[in-house]
Structure 1
Amino acid sequence: MRDADARGEFDRLPGAGKPLPSDVESTYDELWWVKRKMARESLSVLPPTLALRKEAEDALEAALAAPSEGAARRIVERINVRIREVMFKPPPGPPLGMKPYDVEEVAARWRERRAER
């Protein structure tokens, strides 16, 4: 470190001479660096039920955009299995607050979207 400093290798680093960025929070958080990295990389950690809600919403959109009705049905049936598991064996966190999708209703919506094209 001393040799590099003597050679001036630290002279033109970004942020040199500026204070370290401070977060809005005034209390010390020992995981500050994890939170900053997650924010920088647009990552988030959700409780299992909220993650499943997001997964279910994404699955519904994927089913409605599926190339065939059979594919749409398989997507909905797969996510329904996961929803039922959480309904009967809830993980920690907030309640799921949703029920399995009606496969026939999603298939009908898929056919309507297909007809509109």
Structure 2
Amino acid sequence: MSERKPSGTSFEDWVERQVREAQERGDFDHLPGAGAPLRGLDRDFSAEEWAADKARREGYDVSAMLPPALALRREREDILRDLGRLHSESLVRAEVEGFNDRVRELYRRPSDGPFVVVALLQESVVLEAWRAARPAPVVTAPVTPPPRRRRFFRRDRG
């Protein structure tokens, strides 16, 4: 399709001619899925569902498509699920504080859609869960070096 649309022809006629010529050349023969029914024709269509399906097929994270309140609810679940990845109490506190700040900011803004409740994280409860999720510290005995062997060529001179 490197040729330009000739002046005086409508865009629709030009496209239809291109498709017809490609069919005559056999460009559409032996394509994957040829002759198979199209999936999803039996259900209602929405642009949002199409975009989400396309993103999933291509391996993208669809959480960016969520409304802000639902995205925060998912983030809350992720924080509680992945507590073990945080290495220190200060990181847990910072994560909880940052999340709670984002929730408060959401509630300060006017809502675009239906009201969705997003609960704040209680720092003390999250810290308890973090402590419980952490593996017990491994206590290892101090390694003592082996005793020094006396060299055979050195004698006591005394």
> What TM-score do the two structures reach when normalised by structure 2?
0.55
Task: Give the distance between the partners of 1:37 and 1:88, measured in 2 at CA.
Answer: 29
Equivalent in the alignment of 2:125? 105
Q: Is the 8 A contact 1:87 1:96 kept in 2?
A: no
| Count of equivalent residues | 112
Cα gap change, 1:64 to 1:86, in 2 (>3 Å): farther
- Quick one: percent identity of the two aligned structures? 34
Q: Is the 8 A contact 1:73 1:103 kept in 2?
A: yes
Task: Give the distance between the partners of 1:107 and 1:74, measured in 2 at CA.
Answer: 11
Q: Is the 8 A contact 2:68 2:106 kept in 1?
A: no
Task: Give the distance between the partners of 1:13 and 1:63, measured in 2 at CA.
Answer: 47
Larger C-alpha radius of gyration, 1 or 2? 2
Determine helix, strand or coil for the equivalent of 2:134: helix
> What TM-score do the two structures reach when normalised by structure 1?
0.70
Q: Which stretch shows the higher mean deviation, 9-18 or 99-108?
A: 9-18
Q: 4+ runs of 1 displaced by more than 6 Å? A: none
Equivalent in the alignment of 1:5? 24
Amino acid paired to 2:71? A
- Alignment of 1:60 with 2:80, yes or no, is yes
Unaligned runs of 5+ in 2: 1-17, 57-61, 138-158
Higher helix share: 1
RMSD of the TM alignment (CA)?
2.9
Unaligned runs of 5+ in 1: none
